[in-house]
Structure 1
Amino acid sequence: MLIRKLLRGRRNAAGTDSVRDDTGWESPRTGAQLLATPYRQQLLRAIQESTSLTAPVFGAYVKEPLQRYAERVQLLPASESHHHSYPGGMLDHGLETCVFGLRLRRQHLLPPKESPERQSSTGELWSVAVIYACLLHDIAKVVVDVDIHLRSGRRWCLWEGTIPDQYRVRYLKGRDYFLHAAANPLLCKEVIGNAGLEWLRSQPELFGLVMYAISGHAERSGVIGEIVSQADRASVAKSLGGKVSNIDKAPRESLQSKLKGAIRHIVTEKIRLNEKGAQGFVTAEALWLVTPLVPREIKSYLLSHGIEGVPSNESRLYDEMQSHGLIMENPDGRSVWKCSVEVGEWRTELFMLKVHKSLVWSGDEEPEVFSGSVGAIDVGESCEGCQLARQQRKDQEQGDKPAIPETLESQDDLEASILDIVTGGDEKAAPDMERQPSRNPDEGAEKLAGQASPGQSSSGEEFLAWLRGGLKNHKVLMNDSKALVHAVDGMLLVVSPKVFKRYCQEVSGEEKGWKEVQDSFQKLKLHKKNKDGGSFHKVKVVGPNKKSSTLSGYLVGKDDLMEEGKEVFDNPFIDLIDGKPEE
């Protein structure tokens, strides 16, 4: 079956797709030529099989826009060092997102809240709208993130038309990573065409949802935006080698390559450099990253993208990075350096990792060096970071398990993969967990779970603040890949124990103490009781192939976790098993 085999094979290697000459110039190609590779032809067939359009209608309203999209993006990558960062990556990402989007669209009766007759008569237009939104959700990256230089010496902008001559691409320094969403409509007409826009405009509500979805207004994009978001994350997870069931049977890249990509992403997109209070400093010798803040960001990034085999223990993570030559050891042979940082009259001491600059930037892309100074201090036995590392290593010898999120049992079909993408897998909370006292908690657990003194926040309140902030800035995923929160029946299911383990990992670097944090959160009494008076609710997760699993967690009102006025749509894959909660 085509759908089952669709994403098993990787895209063509850059060498077979590229028409680059010996001097590094790419030659432009027609849309038909770009779509002619076996992998892209499979994607095109999957898109066509997911609609009920006649061949002439599909050709005019879908295939031609896909060809125009291909001609615009040519062999540009989708990112510099993140997902699909190879020649042709933007084209592959767009097509993959369309395939995932159409599979997810099957879970919705569209247009919503309309009669069966109207859904039957306009449903295919909504399917085409999903294709358009998926195709255009990232397209402006090739306008605002890169400079395109023609061999003639001219700089080319894609709103001028398709690339007319041999070209090279250079990523812009200091680019705005959110600008592409606002700029996506610039290329909307060129890709969709007049006929497609007129068809969309025949349904004003649908036209609005598509425009909001491609321009970064997630709060107004409704079900179209939800589908695009989930499909985008599925394609990204596939590219990064994340756990997307058996969607891709090709050999995975090593953890070493994932760590490299994560370091590049965090340094170039997430942290501040070379200023007072920054998380990183660039010197003539190396890049210095503050611990444990940056390593925890790296670990969080890998886990959020479904990467397996990430050490849960920070010292093991450092060892992994050191063994692959990603960081330089200090004179004592350890990973963590104690450093003095000075700029002007400001001075502080920090524990840091020393990273090769070439890991993040090529020679002509390096930022200016830090105007102050970073100097190593004699580590010796006083290095708290190293003492912590030694203690963690001792704990490690007693048994370390990789921080691999539990997932649904592997299933050899795309529908099961999407189910795994949306729910993040099956992880259950023990029904009596809330009644079990902690046994012999260690110092870290006591720190997390300690009773709040007057005027202090409890660990439950601190967890709540972390969860609210994470949902607001999308660091905590909802209704999505490896999600910690799902919307169901107008409320939010906070998946336990996964969410508490994730919190403890980010706060303390390890999962110890999560039970105490959970107990403290439960005492806030924000959750709804189930019909038996217990705290945990179970939901049934049902995929397109009717296979199912369960998740457990706390059911909390949306207003307790989300911004006021934030519209949240229920996850169509899950239903409460134990019915409505007690009021």
Structure 2
Amino acid sequence: MFQRFKSHFARQPATPQKLPEQQSEVIRDSRGYFRPQSADELLATSLRRQCLQQLWQNSALPEGLYQRFYLAPVKQLLGSVQQVPATPEGDWSGAGGFADLTLKFTTCAVRLAKGHLFPPGAAPETQAAQSLLWQTVVFWGALFYHLPLLRQLDGELEDGHHWQPGVCIPGKLFRFRFRTPENALTVPQEALLAAGLLPEKALMWLVSVPEAWHCLMLHLNGRPSSVPLIDALLQDAAGQVHSPWVKQGGVPTAAEAALASEAGTRPETQSAASANAMKSPSPSTADDTRTLLSLFQSNDEVSSPVNANENDNDLKISKRTGRPSENVAPAGEESS
């Protein structure tokens, strides 16, 4: 009886069929060059597929918007980093370590943020109107959190041209190495990389709430967030996945490491424990969703009406007939 009751409120997988288990193949020739892989190939490992399933389960966005604002940036980022590691040594130093770290960290942060009221301290009607946007700000902040680690990497294509991991998908066989400390990039590139990952409609949504835009920009510039709760959630997630950013291992510059340490210890930043004390049932996101969908009124993939169930906040969106469902997350995976 309990299982039937629980399944009624659980978010159903967005894909009806279960994808066959597949292991992402790392092809490296005798010269040390890797073969570029598609985003689908890179997402084929059980860990990454499980992360996608958990992202979908913990997101309140309708499927079409989840595809644009969550899945598309994830695929683009993974394609641009391929199989690079996150650090020269340690937990995330293996092939594909950066992608594994980013997905696991992002999944953890989104899960921790679920159920919190955003922005903290705002009027209930403001929280109801902006809930979806702030939850998505947490996702983007988490997805971009480890971009500074890419500054320590240098790449080269088979034809001798330079390739910078994180900037673009390599069009030829490639190889990479860690820069020596004296050759490390000193100019921050995170804001530029993030701008390339954010969809245009997402930027329009962000600037519609200046506080959310300002919060994300502070994060991308390595500054303490204007919403301390978000900093606390990201720090908690970093600790749970053993992020090298928390340990300050592999951080490109001492200034960046000092700034990250200061942001994590400043008095007004809340700990994960105090953040948990602020949890309460999520407000209705119907108004927020209608505002978001107004950006897509000319798009054939999304149409009104949108219904928000006050009991379980399960957003449902009607789609035009005749369009097949897109692959959002693999069905049949366990989620948490």
Normalised to the residue count of structure 1, the TM-score between the two structures is 0.39
Report the CA distance shift for 1:177/1:134 in structure 2 as closer, same or farther (over 3 A): farther
Report the CA distance shift for 1:477/1:55 in structure 2 as closer, same or farther (over 3 A): closer
Report the CA distance shift for 1:177/1:50 in structure 2 as closer, same or farther (over 3 A): farther
Q: Look up the match of 1:148.
A: 155
Q: Look up the match of 2:54.
A: 46
1:162 and 2:202 correspond:
no
The CA deviation at 1:573 is 3.0
2:126 to 107, 118, 122: 118
1:572 to 275, 279, 283: 275
- AA matched with 2:111: R
2:211 and 2:264 map into 1 onto residues whose CA distance is: 27
SS of residue paired to 2:155: strand
Per-residue Cα deviation, 1:157-212 (whole angstroms, up to 9, x for no partner): 357532111111111111588958x4311201211222222222221111111121
Q: Which has the higher contact order (CA 8 A, sep 6+)?
A: 2
SS of residue paired to 1:170: strand
TM alignment of 1:185-224, pairs within 5 A? 185-218=191-224, 220=226, 222-224=228-230
SS of residue paired to 1:126: helix
1:90 and 1:136 map into 2 onto residues whose CA distance is: 12
Q: Look up the match of 1:104.
A: 112
Report the CA distance shift for 1:178/1:474 in structure 2 as closer, same or farther (over 3 A): farther
2:184 and 2:241 map into 1 onto residues whose CA distance is: 19
- AA matched with 1:29: Q
Report the CA distance shift for 1:185/1:475 in structure 2 as closer, same or farther (over 3 A): closer
Q: Look up the match of 1:225.
A: 231
Q: Look up the match of 2:135.
A: 127
The CA deviation at 1:113 is 1.8
Runs of 4+ in 1 over 4 A off after TM superposition: 175-180, 475-478
Whether contact under 8 Å (1:25, 1:166) holds in the other structure is yes
1:31 to 36, 39, 57: 39
TM alignment of 1:379-418, pairs within 5 A? none
The CA deviation at 1:139 is 1.7
Whether contact under 8 Å (2:216, 2:225) holds in the other structure is no
2:59 and 2:262 map into 1 onto residues whose CA distance is: 34
Per-residue Cα deviation, 1:463-495 (whole angstroms, up to 9, x for no partner): xxxxxxxx99849975xxxxxxxxxxxxxxxxx
TM alignment of 1:296-307, pairs within 5 A? none
1:156 and 1:472 map into 2 onto residues whose CA distance is: 28
Per-residue Cα deviation, 1:67-98 (whole angstroms, up to 9, x for no partner): 11111111111111134111111111111111
2:134 and 2:233 map into 1 onto residues whose CA distance is: 12
TM alignment of 1:443-462, pairs within 5 A? none
Larger radius of gyration: 1
2:264 and 2:216 map into 1 onto residues whose CA distance is: 22
Normalised to the residue count of structure 2, the TM-score between the two structures is 0.65
The CA deviation at 1:45 is 0.7
Whether contact under 8 Å (2:55, 2:110) holds in the other structure is yes
Q: Specify every segment of 5 or more residues in structure 2 that has no aligned partner in the other structure, as ranges.
A: 1-5, 11-22, 279-336
Report the CA distance shift for 1:195/1:146 in structure 2 as closer, same or farther (over 3 A): same
Report the CA distance shift for 1:474/1:224 in structure 2 as closer, same or farther (over 3 A): same
- AA matched with 1:156: W
Q: Specify every segment of 5 or more residues in structure 1 that has no aligned partner in the other structure, as ranges.
A: 4-14, 240-261, 271-470, 479-561, 576-583
1:17 and 1:224 map into 2 onto residues whose CA distance is: 35
Q: CA RMSD in A?
A: 3.4
- AA matched with 2:190: N
1:476 and 1:225 map into 2 onto residues whose CA distance is: 8
1:150 and 1:38 map into 2 onto residues whose CA distance is: 29
Q: Look up the match of 2:310.
A: none
Report the CA distance shift for 1:236/1:28 in structure 2 as closer, same or farther (over 3 A): same
SS of residue paired to 1:218: coil
Per-residue Cα deviation, 1:282-321 (whole angstroms, up to 9, x for no partner): xxxxxxxxxxxxxxxxxxxxxxxxxxxxxxxxxxxxxxxx
Report the CA distance shift for 1:199/1:476 in structure 2 as closer, same or farther (over 3 A): closer
- AA matched with 1:127: Q
- AA matched with 2:140: Y
- Percent of residue pairs bearing the same amino acid type: 22
Whether contact under 8 Å (1:149, 1:155) holds in the other structure is yes
1:99 and 1:53 map into 2 onto residues whose CA distance is: 15
2:141 and 2:37 map into 1 onto residues whose CA distance is: 24
Whether contact under 8 Å (1:209, 1:222) holds in the other structure is no
Whether contact under 8 Å (2:141, 2:216) holds in the other structure is yes
Report the CA distance shift for 1:186/1:209 in structure 2 as closer, same or farther (over 3 A): same
SS of residue paired to 1:573: helix
1:573 and 1:179 map into 2 onto residues whose CA distance is: 37
Whether contact under 8 Å (1:75, 1:90) holds in the other structure is yes
Report the CA distance shift for 1:95/1:176 in structure 2 as closer, same or farther (over 3 A): farther
Which deviates the most, 170-179 or 16-25?
170-179
How many aligned residue pairs are there?
250
* Structure that is richer in strand per residue: 1
1:158 and 1:126 map into 2 onto residues whose CA distance is: 29
1:136 to 144, 148, 151: 144
